[in-house]
Amino acid sequence: TANKKMKEVKDTYHTHLHSIDRKYFKTAKKLLQEIHKRMFTVYLQPKINLSDEKLNGAEALVRKLNGKGNLVPPIDFIPELEQNGLISFVDFFVLETVCEYIHNWQKQGKKFIKVSVNMSRTTLRKKNVVQKAVAICSKYQIGPQLIEIEITESIGGLEKKLITRLMDDFHTAGFSIALDDFGSGFSNIAALAENDFDVVKFDKSLIDTIFENDKSRTVIQQAINLCNAVNKNIETVGEGVETEQQLQILKEYGCDIGQGYLFSRPIPEEKFLKDFLTGENGEKCD
Ligand code: C2E
Ligand code: MG
Ligand code: MG
Ligand code: MG
Protein backbone atom coordinates (compact mmCIF):
# COMPACT_ATOMS: atom_id res chain seq x y z
CA THR A 1 0.00 0.00 0.00
CA ALA A 2 3.00 2.25 0.43
CA ASN A 3 3.43 2.01 -3.32
CA LYS A 4 -0.23 2.69 -3.91
CA LYS A 5 -0.06 5.76 -1.70
CA MET A 6 3.07 6.92 -3.48
CA LYS A 7 1.23 6.53 -6.76
CA GLU A 8 -1.63 8.60 -5.40
CA VAL A 9 0.76 11.35 -4.37
CA LYS A 10 2.38 11.20 -7.81
CA ASP A 11 -0.98 11.30 -9.57
CA THR A 12 -2.00 14.32 -7.58
CA TYR A 13 1.12 16.18 -8.52
CA HIS A 14 2.02 14.62 -11.87
CA THR A 15 0.43 17.48 -13.80
CA HIS A 16 3.50 19.48 -13.02
CA LEU A 17 6.12 16.79 -13.15
CA HIS A 18 6.41 17.21 -16.91
CA SER A 19 7.26 20.88 -16.52
CA ILE A 20 10.17 20.14 -14.21
CA ASP A 21 13.66 20.52 -15.61
CA ARG A 22 15.09 17.03 -16.30
CA LYS A 23 18.09 17.63 -14.11
CA TYR A 24 15.78 18.09 -11.10
CA PHE A 25 13.84 14.86 -11.61
CA LYS A 26 15.68 13.06 -8.81
CA THR A 27 15.15 15.98 -6.46
CA ALA A 28 11.48 16.06 -7.44
CA LYS A 29 11.11 12.38 -6.61
CA LYS A 30 12.77 12.91 -3.26
CA LEU A 31 10.48 15.85 -2.53
CA LEU A 32 7.38 13.82 -3.39
CA GLN A 33 8.62 11.13 -1.03
CA GLU A 34 9.09 13.69 1.71
CA ILE A 35 5.56 14.99 1.13
CA HIS A 36 4.26 11.44 1.23
CA LYS A 37 6.17 10.71 4.44
CA ARG A 38 4.49 13.73 6.01
CA MET A 39 7.74 15.62 6.46
CA PHE A 40 5.89 18.78 5.58
CA THR A 41 3.16 20.16 7.74
CA VAL A 42 0.87 23.15 7.54
CA TYR A 43 0.58 25.60 10.42
CA LEU A 44 -2.20 28.16 10.73
CA GLN A 45 -1.99 31.72 11.97
CA PRO A 46 -5.26 33.44 12.87
CA LYS A 47 -6.33 36.70 11.27
CA ILE A 48 -8.38 38.88 13.59
CA ASN A 49 -11.05 41.46 12.74
CA LEU A 50 -9.90 44.70 14.31
CA SER A 51 -13.48 45.98 14.76
CA ASP A 52 -14.50 43.27 17.24
CA GLU A 53 -11.27 41.27 17.71
CA LYS A 54 -13.04 38.11 16.56
CA LEU A 55 -11.58 35.51 14.23
CA ASN A 56 -11.61 36.54 10.59
CA GLY A 57 -9.71 33.66 9.00
CA ALA A 58 -6.27 32.10 8.91
CA GLU A 59 -3.10 32.00 6.85
CA ALA A 60 -1.57 28.62 6.04
CA LEU A 61 2.21 28.52 6.52
CA VAL A 62 4.30 25.53 5.59
CA ARG A 63 6.81 23.88 7.93
CA LYS A 64 9.28 21.09 7.31
CA LEU A 65 10.45 18.48 9.77
CA ASN A 66 14.14 17.67 9.78
CA GLY A 67 15.56 14.24 10.67
CA LYS A 68 15.51 15.11 14.38
CA GLY A 69 11.83 16.00 14.30
CA ASN A 70 12.50 19.73 14.61
CA LEU A 71 10.60 22.26 12.54
CA VAL A 72 12.45 24.07 9.79
CA PRO A 73 11.06 27.51 8.83
CA PRO A 74 10.21 28.27 5.18
CA ILE A 75 13.12 30.67 4.78
CA ASP A 76 15.49 27.68 5.12
CA PHE A 77 14.01 25.56 2.32
CA ILE A 78 11.76 27.66 0.07
CA PRO A 79 14.46 29.64 -1.77
CA GLU A 80 16.00 26.41 -3.08
CA LEU A 81 12.60 25.05 -4.13
CA GLU A 82 11.91 28.29 -5.95
CA GLN A 83 15.25 27.97 -7.73
CA ASN A 84 14.69 24.43 -8.96
CA GLY A 85 11.01 24.99 -9.73
CA LEU A 86 9.75 22.42 -7.25
CA ILE A 87 7.96 24.87 -4.94
CA SER A 88 4.68 24.20 -6.77
CA PHE A 89 4.56 20.70 -5.27
CA VAL A 90 4.70 22.27 -1.84
CA ASP A 91 2.20 25.01 -2.68
CA PHE A 92 -0.32 22.45 -3.92
CA PHE A 93 0.37 20.21 -0.94
CA VAL A 94 -0.44 23.17 1.31
CA LEU A 95 -3.66 23.91 -0.57
CA GLU A 96 -4.66 20.26 -0.36
CA THR A 97 -3.93 20.11 3.36
CA VAL A 98 -5.95 23.28 3.93
CA CYS A 99 -8.91 21.77 2.05
CA GLU A 100 -8.61 18.68 4.25
CA TYR A 101 -8.64 20.88 7.38
CA ILE A 102 -11.70 22.85 6.22
CA HIS A 103 -13.46 19.65 5.22
CA ASN A 104 -12.95 18.24 8.73
CA TRP A 105 -14.08 21.45 10.41
CA GLN A 106 -17.25 21.43 8.35
CA LYS A 107 -17.90 17.82 9.37
CA GLN A 108 -17.58 18.94 13.00
CA GLY A 109 -20.07 21.77 12.49
CA LYS A 110 -17.52 24.54 12.94
CA LYS A 111 -17.89 28.01 11.55
CA PHE A 112 -16.75 28.44 7.94
CA ILE A 113 -13.62 30.54 7.81
CA LYS A 114 -11.52 31.59 4.89
CA VAL A 115 -7.94 30.31 4.76
CA SER A 116 -5.23 31.91 2.69
CA VAL A 117 -2.41 30.03 0.99
CA ASN A 118 0.80 31.45 -0.43
CA MET A 119 1.54 30.82 -4.08
CA SER A 120 5.03 31.43 -5.27
CA ARG A 121 5.78 33.00 -8.61
CA THR A 122 7.07 29.69 -9.88
CA THR A 123 3.74 28.06 -9.10
CA LEU A 124 1.80 30.85 -10.76
CA ARG A 125 3.85 30.32 -13.91
CA LYS A 126 2.80 26.66 -14.15
CA LYS A 127 0.29 25.72 -16.78
CA ASN A 128 -3.24 25.10 -15.55
CA VAL A 129 -2.49 26.41 -12.08
CA VAL A 130 -6.07 27.62 -11.63
CA GLN A 131 -7.65 24.39 -12.89
CA LYS A 132 -5.33 22.49 -10.56
CA ALA A 133 -6.45 24.58 -7.59
CA VAL A 134 -10.10 24.09 -8.55
CA ALA A 135 -9.57 20.32 -8.82
CA ILE A 136 -8.00 20.15 -5.36
CA CYS A 137 -10.89 22.14 -3.84
CA SER A 138 -13.53 19.97 -5.44
CA LYS A 139 -11.78 16.79 -4.30
CA TYR A 140 -12.64 17.95 -0.75
CA GLN A 141 -15.93 19.61 -1.71
CA ILE A 142 -14.57 23.00 -0.70
CA GLY A 143 -15.91 26.09 -2.43
CA PRO A 144 -13.06 28.30 -3.70
CA GLN A 145 -14.88 31.10 -1.86
CA LEU A 146 -13.17 29.75 1.29
CA ILE A 147 -9.70 29.99 -0.22
CA GLU A 148 -7.64 33.13 -0.62
CA ILE A 149 -4.56 33.09 -2.82
CA GLU A 150 -1.68 35.21 -1.52
CA ILE A 151 0.55 36.61 -4.20
CA THR A 152 3.62 38.47 -3.06
CA GLU A 153 4.45 41.84 -4.46
CA SER A 154 7.49 40.28 -6.07
CA ILE A 155 5.09 39.26 -8.85
CA GLY A 156 6.68 42.35 -10.33
CA GLY A 157 8.79 39.76 -12.12
CA LEU A 158 5.79 38.17 -13.82
CA GLU A 159 4.51 39.43 -17.16
CA LYS A 160 1.58 41.82 -16.76
CA LYS A 161 -0.54 39.86 -19.18
CA LEU A 162 0.00 36.67 -17.24
CA ILE A 163 -0.97 38.31 -13.94
CA THR A 164 -4.11 39.78 -15.45
CA ARG A 165 -5.16 36.44 -16.89
CA LEU A 166 -4.39 34.58 -13.67
CA MET A 167 -6.36 37.07 -11.58
CA ASP A 168 -9.32 36.79 -13.95
CA ASP A 169 -9.22 33.01 -13.88
CA PHE A 170 -8.87 32.78 -10.10
CA HIS A 171 -11.72 35.26 -9.64
CA THR A 172 -13.96 33.50 -12.13
CA ALA A 173 -13.37 30.24 -10.26
CA GLY A 174 -14.39 31.95 -7.00
CA PHE A 175 -11.06 32.42 -5.22
CA SER A 176 -10.12 35.72 -3.66
CA ILE A 177 -6.69 37.20 -4.11
CA ALA A 178 -4.46 38.99 -1.65
CA LEU A 179 -1.44 41.12 -2.42
CA ASP A 180 1.09 39.94 0.19
CA ASP A 181 4.06 41.83 1.66
CA PHE A 182 2.83 45.18 0.38
CA GLY A 183 5.40 47.82 1.21
CA SER A 184 8.37 45.49 1.46
CA GLY A 185 9.91 46.39 -1.86
CA PHE A 186 9.72 48.85 -4.71
CA SER A 187 7.17 49.64 -7.40
CA ASN A 188 4.24 47.96 -5.77
CA ILE A 189 1.81 50.86 -6.02
CA ALA A 190 1.27 50.31 -9.73
CA ALA A 191 0.19 46.74 -8.96
CA LEU A 192 -2.70 48.16 -6.93
CA ALA A 193 -3.98 50.14 -9.88
CA GLU A 194 -3.45 47.44 -12.46
CA ASN A 195 -5.05 44.54 -10.61
CA ASP A 196 -8.23 43.89 -8.76
CA PHE A 197 -6.96 42.62 -5.39
CA ASP A 198 -9.53 41.65 -2.76
CA VAL A 199 -7.05 41.96 0.08
CA VAL A 200 -3.85 43.89 0.70
CA LYS A 201 -1.48 42.70 3.42
CA PHE A 202 0.93 45.29 4.77
CA ASP A 203 4.38 43.87 5.32
CA LYS A 204 5.64 43.58 8.87
CA SER A 205 8.39 46.07 8.07
CA LEU A 206 5.70 48.73 7.56
CA ILE A 207 4.13 47.94 10.93
CA ASP A 208 7.29 47.52 13.02
CA THR A 209 7.91 51.14 13.86
CA ILE A 210 4.44 52.73 13.65
CA PHE A 211 4.41 53.39 17.38
CA GLU A 212 7.88 54.89 17.68
CA ASN A 213 8.11 56.71 14.38
CA ASP A 214 5.78 59.48 13.11
CA LYS A 215 6.79 58.92 9.50
CA SER A 216 6.00 55.19 9.64
CA ARG A 217 2.66 56.07 11.14
CA THR A 218 1.88 58.44 8.29
CA VAL A 219 2.96 55.84 5.73
CA ILE A 220 0.67 53.15 7.10
CA GLN A 221 -2.22 55.59 7.46
CA GLN A 222 -1.89 56.71 3.87
CA ALA A 223 -1.34 53.15 2.63
CA ILE A 224 -4.67 52.16 4.22
CA ASN A 225 -6.34 55.21 2.67
CA LEU A 226 -4.80 54.48 -0.72
CA CYS A 227 -6.09 50.90 -0.73
CA ASN A 228 -9.58 52.01 0.23
CA ALA A 229 -9.52 54.78 -2.38
CA VAL A 230 -8.61 52.29 -5.10
CA ASN A 231 -11.30 49.85 -4.00
CA LYS A 232 -13.64 50.69 -1.14
CA ASN A 233 -14.37 46.99 -0.58
CA ILE A 234 -10.74 46.01 -0.28
CA GLU A 235 -9.69 44.32 2.96
CA THR A 236 -6.57 45.71 4.59
CA VAL A 237 -4.45 43.45 6.79
CA GLY A 238 -1.61 44.47 9.08
CA GLU A 239 1.01 41.70 9.30
CA GLY A 240 3.42 41.16 12.18
CA VAL A 241 1.37 42.97 14.81
CA GLU A 242 3.30 42.39 18.02
CA THR A 243 2.21 45.11 20.43
CA GLU A 244 -0.97 46.61 21.85
CA GLN A 245 0.22 50.05 20.67
CA GLN A 246 0.51 48.87 17.06
CA LEU A 247 -2.96 47.36 17.32
CA GLN A 248 -4.47 50.61 18.58
CA ILE A 249 -2.88 52.61 15.76
CA LEU A 250 -4.11 50.18 13.09
CA LYS A 251 -7.61 50.33 14.57
CA GLU A 252 -7.56 54.10 14.65
CA TYR A 253 -6.59 54.24 10.97
CA GLY A 254 -9.33 51.83 9.96
CA CYS A 255 -7.26 48.80 9.08
CA ASP A 256 -9.68 45.87 8.81
CA ILE A 257 -7.67 42.89 9.99
CA GLY A 258 -4.61 42.11 12.11
CA GLN A 259 -2.25 39.15 12.06
CA GLY A 260 0.70 38.73 14.36
CA TYR A 261 2.26 37.32 17.50
CA LEU A 262 0.10 39.67 19.60
CA PHE A 263 -2.85 37.44 18.70
CA SER A 264 -1.04 34.17 18.04
CA ARG A 265 1.99 32.64 16.38
CA PRO A 266 1.36 30.17 13.57
CA ILE A 267 0.17 26.95 15.29
CA PRO A 268 -0.65 23.35 14.36
CA GLU A 269 -4.20 22.66 13.14
CA GLU A 270 -5.21 20.81 16.32
CA LYS A 271 -4.29 23.81 18.43
CA PHE A 272 -5.99 26.21 16.03
CA LEU A 273 -9.16 24.13 16.24
CA LYS A 274 -9.02 24.04 20.03
CA ASP A 275 -8.10 27.69 20.61
CA PHE A 276 -9.87 29.47 17.76
CA LEU A 277 -12.70 27.33 16.43
CA THR A 278 -14.49 26.53 19.67
CA GLY A 279 -16.76 28.64 21.81
CA GLU A 280 -18.37 31.72 20.40
CA ASN A 281 -15.68 32.08 17.69
CA GLY A 282 -16.16 28.64 16.25
CA GLU A 283 -19.86 27.88 16.39
CA LYS A 284 -21.57 27.87 13.07
CA CYS A 285 -23.60 31.03 12.90
CA ASP A 286 -25.23 30.80 9.50
P1 C2E B 1 4.32 35.62 4.61
O2 C2E B 1 3.41 34.98 3.66
O3 C2E B 1 4.40 37.09 4.60
O4 C2E B 1 3.90 35.08 6.04
C5 C2E B 1 3.97 35.82 7.23
C6 C2E B 1 5.24 35.49 7.98
O7 C2E B 1 5.38 36.39 9.08
C8 C2E B 1 5.23 34.09 8.59
O9 C2E B 1 6.56 33.61 8.61
C10 C2E B 1 4.78 34.37 10.03
O11 C2E B 1 5.16 33.38 10.95
C12 C2E B 1 5.49 35.68 10.29
N13 C2E B 1 4.83 36.46 11.34
C14 C2E B 1 3.51 36.64 11.54
N15 C2E B 1 3.28 37.45 12.59
C16 C2E B 1 4.50 37.80 13.08
C17 C2E B 1 4.93 38.63 14.17
O18 C2E B 1 4.13 39.22 14.90
N19 C2E B 1 6.27 38.74 14.36
C20 C2E B 1 7.18 38.09 13.58
N21 C2E B 1 8.48 38.27 13.84
N22 C2E B 1 6.81 37.32 12.52
C23 C2E B 1 5.49 37.17 12.29
P24 C2E B 1 6.95 32.16 8.13
O25 C2E B 1 5.90 31.16 8.49
O26 C2E B 1 8.35 31.91 8.58
O27 C2E B 1 6.93 32.31 6.56
C28 C2E B 1 7.82 33.17 5.89
C29 C2E B 1 7.47 33.30 4.45
O30 C2E B 1 7.62 32.06 3.75
C31 C2E B 1 6.01 33.69 4.20
O32 C2E B 1 5.83 35.06 4.40
C33 C2E B 1 5.84 33.26 2.77
O34 C2E B 1 6.37 34.22 1.89
C35 C2E B 1 6.71 32.02 2.70
N36 C2E B 1 5.82 30.85 2.82
C37 C2E B 1 5.30 30.25 3.92
N38 C2E B 1 4.53 29.20 3.59
C39 C2E B 1 4.55 29.12 2.23
C40 C2E B 1 3.94 28.24 1.28
O41 C2E B 1 3.18 27.30 1.59
N42 C2E B 1 4.23 28.48 -0.04
C43 C2E B 1 5.04 29.52 -0.43
N44 C2E B 1 5.25 29.68 -1.73
N45 C2E B 1 5.60 30.36 0.43
C46 C2E B 1 5.36 30.17 1.75
MG1 MG C 1 1.54 35.27 3.11
MG1 MG D 1 3.57 38.77 4.11
MG1 MG E 1 -12.12 48.81 3.26
- ipTM rounded to 2 decimals: 0.98
Does ligand 1 come within 6 angstroms of the Cβ of 261? yes
Ligand 1 within 6 A of CB of 258? no
- Burial string for 200-224 (b: 16+ CB within 10 Å, else e) reads bbbbbebbbebeeeeebbebbbebb
Distance 22 CA to ligand 1 centre (A): 30
Sign of the alpha-carbon dihedral angle for 80, 86, 63, 187: positive
- pTM for the whole thing? 0.93
**Predicted pLDDT of residue 205:** 94
Those residues with Cβ within 8 angstroms of residue 84's Cβ, 6 or more apart along the chain or in another chain: 21, 24, 27
Buried-exposed string 67-87: b where 16+ CB fall within 10 A, e elsewhere: eeeeeeeeeebbeebbeebbb
- The one-digit pLDDT tens for each residue of the chain (286 residues) are 556 655 655 555 555 566 667 777 888 888 888 888 889 999 999 999 999 999 999 999 999 998 888 999 999 999 999 888 899 999 999 999 999 999 999 999 998 899 999 999 889 989 899 999 999 999 999 999 999 999 986 666 678 888 889 999 999 999 999 999 998 876 678 889 889 999 999 999 999 999 999 999 999 999 999 999 999 999 999 999 999 999 999 999 999 999 999 999 999 999 999 999 986 666 654 4
> Which of 41, 43, 61, 150 should be mutated for ligand 1, with most atoms under 8 A from CB?
61
Which residues fall within 8 angstroms of residue 248, CB to CB, at 6 or more apart?
A: none
Number of residues assigned to the chain: 286
Q: Is the CB of 42 under 6 A from ligand 1?
A: no
- C-alpha 259/C-alpha 114 separation (Å) is 14
- Quote the CA–CA distance of 61 and 69 in Å, as a whole number: 18
In this prediction, residue 286 carries a pLDDT of: 42
Question: Which atom from ligand 1 is nearest to the alpha carbon of 152?
Answer: 34
pLDDT number for residue 34:
87
For residue 169, the cross-strand partners are none
Q: Which ligand neighbours the alpha carbon of 230 most closely?
A: 4
Amino acid 258: pLDDT: 98
Residue 280's pLDDT is 63
Specify the ligand 1 atom closest to the Cα of 181: 3
76 in contact with ligand 1, CB cutoff 6 A: no
Q: What are the residues whose beta carbon lies below 5 Å from ligand 4 (ion)?
A: 228
